[in-house]
């Protein structure tokens, strides 16, 4: 029982016409500041984790503690990966957002 509304519903289902825009909601600048602060907090925490991991690595190496040395190496690699992820988060999201906008 098709009606004259059916083609419009199909068009809406295939292309809702929604795209991200800034300035649509109040408090967007506050949210951006909060996320930027969380990212900065994460980077500062990673610097501390890297310093501790490098210290454990050096301590394990000089005392012959192979387990501590291995844990220090793992911590340094994880901290470096976390710094890479935090620094690239905006670019990764922008890349996949642009990639997703190409899907039709």
The DSSP result for 58-92, as a single string, is HHHHHHT-HHHHHHHHHHHHHHHHHHHHHHHHHHH
The predicted-structure confidence for 56-65, as pLDDT tens digits, reads as follows: 999 999 999 9
Q: Is the pLDDT of residue 11 over 70?
A: no
Evaluate whether 58 touches 72 at the Cβ level (below 8 Å).
yes
25 vs 53: which has the higher pLDDT: 53
Q: What angle do CA 84, 39, 53 make, to 5 degrees?
A: 55
What's the pTM? 0.71
Question: What does the pLDDT read at residue 67?
Answer: 96
Least confident of 58-62, 65-69, 97-101: 97-101
């Amino acid at each position: 029982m098709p009606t004259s509304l059916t083609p419009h519903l199909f068009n809406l289902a295939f292309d809702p016409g929604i795209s991200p825009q800034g300035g649509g909601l109040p408090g967007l600048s506050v949210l951006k500041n909060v996320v930027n602060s969380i990212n900065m907090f994460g980077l500062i925490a990673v610097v501390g984790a890297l310093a501790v991991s490098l210290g454990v690595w050096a301590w394990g190496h000089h005392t012959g503690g192979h387990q501590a040395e291995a844990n220090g190496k793992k911590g340094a690699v994880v901290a470096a990966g976390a710094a890479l992820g935090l620094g690239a988060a905006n670019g990764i999201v922008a890349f996949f957002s642009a990639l997703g906008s190409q899907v039709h």
